[in-house]
Amino acid sequence: GENVEQHPSTLSVQEGDSAVIKCTYSDSASNYFPWYKQELGKRPQLIIDIRSNVGEKKDQRIAVTLNKTAKHFSLHITETQPEDSAVYFCAASRTDSWGKLQFGAGTQVVVTP
């Protein structure tokens, strides 16, 4: 089955700096890669996703890149703000598994003013 590894497990950045979280996956048939942000006690919230036919996607301060050959994808947050502090999960899924998500272990991001 699919295995997703996520690094780092914790990330501390100064406000205004960039944050990068990296994930690798094992199943070459995976074709959908969402990123979720989860604040303490709240639901995971989809912040950005990328499909396997695209190499990069950007939404304001957030961008995701995908390298299918190397089977890795990354989340980039620029100009970080204190409200970006949360746990971020990457995930992978394939169409023929009804969207079952295999999550990475999560990254605790702390943005200090």
Partner 1 sequence: DAMVIQNPRYQVTQFGKPVTLSCSQTLNHNVMYWYQQKSSQAPKLLFHYYDKDFNNEADTPDNFQSRRPNTSFCFLDIRSPGLGDAAMYLCATSRRFRGSYEQYFGPGTRLTVT
- The residue ranges that bind partner 1 (CB under 8 A) are 31-32, 34, 41-46, 49, 51, 89, 93, 95, 98-101, 103-106
In Å, how far are 34, 91, 105 from 85, measured between CA atoms? 18, 19, 17
Nearer to partner 1, 16 or 55 (CB): 55
Nearer to partner 1, 77 or 106 (CB): 106
Buried b vs exposed e over 76-87: b needs ≥16 C-beta within 10 Å?
bbeebeeebbbb
**Which residue type sits at 55?**
G
Q: Minimum distance from CB of 100 to partner 1 (Å)?
A: 6
Q: Minimum distance from CB of 79 to partner 1 (Å)?
A: 26
Q: Minimum distance from CB of 6 to partner 1 (Å)?
A: 9
Nearer to partner 1, 13 or 101 (CB): 101
Nearer to partner 1, 9 or 18 (CB): 9
Indicate the length of the chain as a whole number. 113
Residue 26 host element (H or E): none
